[in-house]
Amino acid sequence: MRLFGSGGHLRHQRLQTVLTIAAIATAVALPVVLLGVGGGVSSHELSNLQNAGYQIVISAAGLHGIANAHRLTGQLLALPEVAAASPVLSIAVDAFPPGKGAVPSLAEGVIPDQFAPTLGPTEDGLFPQPLPLGDPTDLVHYDNGTYAGPATYDVLVSSPFAQAYHLAVGSTLGLAPVPNATEAVPYSVTGVFGVPLGTLGQTGAFALLLPLSDLQVMTGYARGAGTPVVDAADSVEVAAAGAVSTEPGALAALQRQIQAMVPYYTVSTLSQQAAQLQTAASVLTGFYLALSSVGLTVGLVFLALVLLRRVESDRRSIGIRRALGLPPRAVVGPVVAEGLAIAAIGAVAGIVGGIALVDGLAAWGSGAVQEAADLAIFVPATMAELAGAVVVLALVAGGLAARSALRLDLLEALR
Amino acid sequence: MSGDGRPPRIELRGVERIYDRGAADEVRALRGIDLTVGPGETVSIEGPSGCGKTSLLNLIGLLDTPTRGEVRWDDRPVGERTDRERARLRLERVGFIFQRFYLLPTLTARENVELPMRALGLGRGERRDRATALLTEVGLRGRERAFPHQLSGGEEQRVAVARALGNRPGLLLADEPTGELDLANTEAILTLLEKVRADRGASLLVVTHNPSVARRARRHLAIQDGRIVGDVREA
Ligand SMILES: Nc1ncnc2c1ncn2[C@@H]1O[C@H](COP(=O)(O)OP(=O)(O)OP(=O)(O)O)[C@@H](O)[C@H]1O
Ligand SMILES: [Mg+2]
């Protein structure tokens, strides 16, 4: 059977056919993009969790973060099962590269000798060792909460940041909590670190790493002169010592022990977080599928309508086939084959188009869109299932059309 | 497997065919038809336009069922058969040359001719051989790849004749099979029909206004207003 050729079946209603293929392709592209990107991002997050150098996280539910971060760190380190306890404070600040205006950046305040051991294998080699941020314990400047000790004024910049603003070790970089150059404090760049692909957004790529206390004081100024600085962190990452880190029972015991120390904070293990993430991801996948099935249904209802219309316009041909005594298969075969061809072309176009769209976004998109697109994973089995579902539904649509073709009154159809 | 081309014994008893029955403009196309056609008979059917000739062929050829009365094939009422069985009989035993040709517009001349043979399950080579032979006999050698819209009325009619013969039918129903043809082609088609008929001992019912066509039959029916008004057998 010719579909598009001279006198072929699809030719006399080419526009309708093309539109139907487009509708199905769109309906298929939607889940391809959603599942590809969604699945890619969550599996990336999962692998981040699984590759982290720590096993337990202390976090605070509210906006205020974890108070007395330095003291808590000391208490945690006193436990024999704890190898490292790294408080992390993330705050958006403004950087002032020499001769440039304010550059929004993400600053992370850390305790240098605690931060390094919590790095996972994927971050291996991205940071200079040991971290060149002056005082490794950050206790000199902090000085028991008085912040009376000398600040280091050391900062590490991410490689994209260094590249964009021609910064190198020894350069000076002004930092301020607000986009106001007069408030900027001069820091000296003591190192450059790499950024693992796709972990951070556009602002994140312009990341800074500095001692926790320096960041606390700098951003504390924003609350007005004379206000006491709060020793806050967003979270504390805890790396367990030796066998405890790999033994679930021991890890759970450590988790309980820490929870007892900080009853007001959330203490969770990464495996719990991973499980949560997987639950969230599967909920999201279900949602994507539900959303996509709406799109698919619309596309296939469209297909069914087109096939029924075609039965209507091919009435005479169907009547002739029946008059000749052809078996039902030979009468409705062309109708069903046509539906299948349209659906298959649409499905392939949708899958190829969806993947191409995501590839395009990964290559030319910007910001978070590009990062997410970069992580997309297209599981061949999922794509095959999607195409299979379209073909099955097209068979149903074609079957409906075929049934109506066979029910026409024969003489009526021949007129 | 070339189908079952046995000529059927056909009987119509008290047959009426009313179209659009119950409507204000219902048409009584056939009334009180009693007719028996034995295997191998050749019958011409004549009558004015609209008298019911095509309606009669449709009933005999199992395309339609009577409003009243009974049509029997080989002593079995066709009303007892399912649609599927009737379709099978049409495919295997009937060659219908339709008044309006009924070629499929999306198929070439050759594909149109091969279509019933394909449904019969004939092999590719056999189909090609038969189609080539038939198209040659109707004078369409070289036009096998043309689509119906590329053919003249007479050429379309000849494709329709070739298609009706591909299954080697036991019953040939020809509804004005030479209406569009010139003298030479008419003779050629009639010779072909006669040859196919004689080869297989098939029955032939031919509707025609052409005396030279009617002359070839051994029995002559005249129809008027849905009734058989004349039935003459030659000795
Ligand atoms: N499907 C139909 N629905 C309604 N009326 C019909 C139908 N088919 C035929 N008729 C009517 O039945 C009558 C007989 O038609 P039929 O086609 O059998 O005539 P015919 O003898 O073959 O005529 P012609 O020589 O013009 O082909 C006509 O009045 C026609 O209008
Ligand atoms: Mg007629």
CB–CB of B138/B157 below 8 Å?
no
- CATH code at B175? 3.40.50.300
Residue B74 in any domain: the answer is yes
The ligand 1 atom at the shortest distance from the C-alpha of residue B47 is 21
pLDDT band with cut points at 50, 70 and 90 for residue A113? very high
For residues A44 and A198, the answer to whether their CB atoms sit within 8 Å is: yes
Residue B5 within any structural domain of the chain = no
Answer whether the bond into residue A130 is a cis peptide, omega within 30°.
Answer: yes
Selection from A342, A344, A376, A340 nearest residue A357 by Cα: A376
In a domain, B150, yes or no: yes
Best residue of A6, A324, A411 to probe chain B, by most B CBs closer than 10 Å: A324
- Whether B156 is covered by a domain: the verdict is yes
DSSP for B119-176, written as a single string: HHT--HHHHHHHHHHHHHHTT-TT-TT--GGGS-HHHHHHHHHHHHHTT--SEEEEES
Query: Is the CA virtual torsion B185, B188, B190, B196 positive or negative?
Result: negative
- Which of A408, A410, A411 to mutate to test ligand 1, by most ligand atoms within 8 A of the CB atom? A411
Cβ of B82 below 6 Å from ligand 1: no
Lowest mean pLDDT among A74-88, A144-158, A194-208, A277-291: A194-208
Other beta carbons less than 10 A from residue A217's beta carbon: 17
In Å, how far is A17's CA from the nearest CA of chain B?
A: 17
**pLDDT tens by residue, chain B, 235 residues:** 445 789 999 999 999 999 998 888 899 999 999 999 999 999 999 999 999 999 999 999 999 999 999 999 999 999 999 999 999 999 999 999 999 999 999 999 999 999 999 999 999 999 999 999 999 999 999 999 999 999 999 999 999 999 999 999 999 999 999 988 899 999 989 998 999 888 889 999 999 999 989 999 999 999 999 999 999 998 7
- Tokens representing B47 are 């009558």
Instruction: Name the nearest CA neighbour of A87 among A60, A64, A114, A62.
Output: A114
C-alpha distances out from residue B65 to A210, A342, A389, B58, B78, Å: 94, 38, 42, 8, 8
DSSP state of A165: T
B115 closest CB neighbour out of A8, A324, A410: A324
Predicted local distance difference test score (pLDDT) of residue B215: 92
Structural domain count, chain B = 1
Q: How far is A321 from chain B (nearest CA, A)?
A: 8
Q: Which of A95-104, A191-200, A218-227 has the highest mean pLDDT?
A: A95-104
Task: Judge whether A327 is closer than 8 Å to chain B, CB to CB.
Answer: yes
For residue A391 the two structure tokens come to: 């073909």
Average pLDDT, chain A: 86
CA distances from B70 to A353, B32, B85, B94 (A): 61, 11, 17, 19
User: Which residue is closest to A320 within chain B, CA to CA?
Assistant: B102
Single-letter code of the amino acid located at A59: S
Domain assignment of residue B3, yes or no: no
Closest atom of ligand 1 to A415 CA is 1
DSSP string, A212-267: HHHHHHHHHGGG-TTPPPP--BSEEEEEEPGGGGT-HHHHHHHHHHHHHH-TTSEE
pTM of the model: 0.66
Q: Is residue B1 part of a domain?
A: no
Share of chain A above pLDDT 70, in %: 93
Helix, strand, or coil here: B37?
strand
* Domain-located, residue B2: no
Percent of chain A with pLDDT over 90: 40
C-alpha distance from residue A100 to each of A94, A97, A157 (Å)? 11, 5, 16
Cα B53 to middle of ligand 2, angstroms:
5
**What is this model's ipTM?**
0.95
Tally of CB atoms within 10 A around A311: 23
Residue B208 lies in a domain: yes
Q: Is the CB of B67 under 6 A from ligand 1?
A: no
Report which of residues B160 and A369 the model is more confident about.
B160
Q: Is residue B77 a contact partner of residue B71, using CB atoms and an 8 Å limit?
A: yes
How far is the centre of ligand 1, averaged over its atoms, from the C-alpha of B27 (Å)? 9
Closest CA to B95 of B199, B187, B183, B214: B199
- Give, for B220, the enclosing helix (H) or strand (E): strand B219-224
Nearest alpha-carbon partner for A190 in A173, A214, A166, A177? A173
- Whether B99 is in the pocket of ligand 1, judged by its Cβ within 6 Å, is yes
Ligand that lies nearest to the alpha carbon of residue B52, given by its number in the listed order:
1
Structure letter (DSSP) for residue B41? -
